[in-house]
């Protein structure tokens, strides 16, 4: 079925793999087939987008975002306290 590979990685095209090696390969293939479908290759367009420089966030923007996150966290805490008190 598959060519033999010795412990040093040499391939022998005239001998097949051992039965135990074949069963391990078949089990691995079965796991791959039962698993989730692999994501498609994004192609060259995605590589060009990733290569573009990222916009840097200013300190003021970061502070605004963190302040808004703190406000939302406080609101969620109030909602959870009200929910817990209503039980």
Tens-digit pLDDT profile for residues 29-74: 888 888 787 777 777 665 555 666 778 889 999 999 999 999 999 9
Q: Is residue 29 part of a domain?
A: yes
| pLDDT tier for residue 78 given thresholds of 50, 70 and 90 | very high
Task: Please identify which residue in the block is written with the tokens 């989730």.
Answer: 36
Q: Which two structure tokens, joined as six digits, stand for 13?
A: 């095209």
Q: Is residue 46 part of a domain?
A: no
Tell me the C-alpha distance between 64 and 60, whole Å: 6
3-state secondary structure of 15: strand
The highest-confidence range among 21-25, 42-46, 73-77, by mean pLDDT, is 73-77
Q: What pLDDT shows up at residue 45?
A: 63
Q: Is residue 15 part of a domain?
A: yes
Q: Is residue 20 part of a domain?
A: yes
Domain that holds residue 80: 58-87
Structural domains in the chain (count) = 2
The region of weakest confidence among 12-16, 51-55, 73-77 is 51-55
**Residue 83 pLDDT exceeds 80:** yes
Q: Is residue 13 part of a domain?
A: yes
């Amino acid at each position: 079925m598959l060519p033999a590979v010795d412990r040093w990685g040499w391939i022998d095209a005239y001998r097949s793999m051992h039965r135990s090696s074949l069963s391990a390969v078949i089990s691995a293939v079965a796991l791959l087939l039962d698993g989730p479908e692999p994501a498609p290759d994004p192609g060259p367009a995605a590589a060009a987008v990733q290569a573009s420089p990222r916009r840097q966030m200013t300190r003021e923007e970061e502070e605004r975002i963190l302040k808004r996150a703190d406000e939302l966290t406080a609101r969620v805490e109030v909602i959870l306290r009200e929910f817990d008190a209503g039980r």
